[in-house]
A and B are shown apart, each in its own frame.
Chain A
């Protein structure tokens, strides 16, 4: 068992979320909005999708040393072992039996031909791909889907037995939709996994690595960038923002000075400088960073940190403005006249009334952070080039799109996964906000 820095932070975060949800469930006035979330179809479906992403991410966050090779690998690597080993020579399209570029092929009888060679693993079991491929894919897909459905049914049966006969009430439409989504995801995913024994379902990249595997690995990077950066940013933004708005005077002046200064330094420059610093540090202390993975992880963590430090100003400014508004509300004055101390007013009256802004901007930032990672990877100051990330995949697409014919699948795969993740997060946050905003709650 090897615990990387980001692993530790991610599991702490998961624990914190679990504990806070557990605590909220015990209070009646939190239970109501939570119940409202579970009643909305959209939110339940997007929650299921998010949880599936999170599940893959978490699976990829449990690292251990492989006893055979001595490399640090994650549970996901273990599960997807065939994918890691079945590497081709270079690009190949999804479900293709041939390489994407022509090579000199030497036949058994010594003839030479300039043509597309067969893949080493993709569709290698077929004798005549031109005729057999599609029937084979269809039959294998059907078998995979059937097995997936069986698996999903089995899981459902277990779930049903646990949930048991104690509650005979019929499912609400939202739970039905959620279960259906889970059902679909499990079946589909199983089918893809099944197919990938024989085919590269999303093709291979420049060095012949399976793109399906890459996108799965990228989920963790995306989640880490999205969540940990926010974790770094929130204390700064919330603390400074509401303090500046509430106390005003010199506190406000100092905080405004800090964020105006920080804002006037180009963020990219700051990020580049600190990433270079980390690189130099790692080069000088090779004994602390035993493997490539640990180095990449350190760089990822540092990227989150520095992105957090440079991106808190926007939210801070918004929170300051909102606090200025809220502090003039009569309930704050009422609290003051009741003799409530100022820190208590800040925490009990101001903070909950600006929380919706935090929630909204966190979700919006989540997507922009994933994109920022791509941009930074482009100028080589993002995540480590060895780290799988959608950013690196999109970055690679720069050259792939310039080829003729176009290599479209790595970009499409990254786009599809990123899009699904961000959309689900946005939709889920939308219902969360509606549920927790009492003024909206009136309208149902």
Chain B
């Protein structure tokens, strides 16, 4: 950082001293705190330590695997939701879109008696289509994404129930576990493997892979640069040539991809899908992203933060059970966590980004 010593200003006026002189080098601790994911990392460690002490069961490998599994199903969706939030938009339809995707794959495969992979591919197209529709509506109309996706949320919720009842005569889809390609698809979306006698679900691996990929894209690619820019200042971004609409629409489609993936996981681990589920999940994803240090107004955040945010959710969710408490407290606990995280984020940002 001592790069400013040999500065030779090109202009004739008395040169400014080597350093601007008005900025003190901030301490390492302060600079670390300015990273969006550090606050939530500390929070996650605190929750982990708390439950390690309060609930001895958590110390066993199998319990930890369950916690991670729970975290991963939230975490896989929290990632694209976080990217979208950094890009300055919301998606309230993310929760029910997961179910829409699972229903599509399940019913299509069963009713037409085709290989489940056909259903999986069609579900992917439908999910990306929902994302495309959300994104296109938002950039075309200029309406807040809150409104647009609230509309999609209600539409999908209704369609999920109505179409399922129409097709199967029931609120759940038929069991597809004996169909062609099921075992193969299950291996990818819902299998588990053994590490040192502990049964680890494959979604945990996918979660971490996606998180690494999202971090790389966000910090090391042009597209990542655009995400920050469209969330931070849309007009400036447009003025310097960033394809704002393209960026926003593809972000919505990324959420669609996430919904597809989690939907497939649900389908292949439970064999059947309840059409009324998914409501309320979208807020959990958004909360995980916010706890993970993403700014609700866009332009700031990380992909690693939501990983810790989702872990906190999984930890609290399972930890309460392992500690033998009434699980009804879960939501209250979450609320406190969310508020706490938001306050910490606010404080950290104010102190750490101040000159």
On whether the two chains bind one another, the answer is no
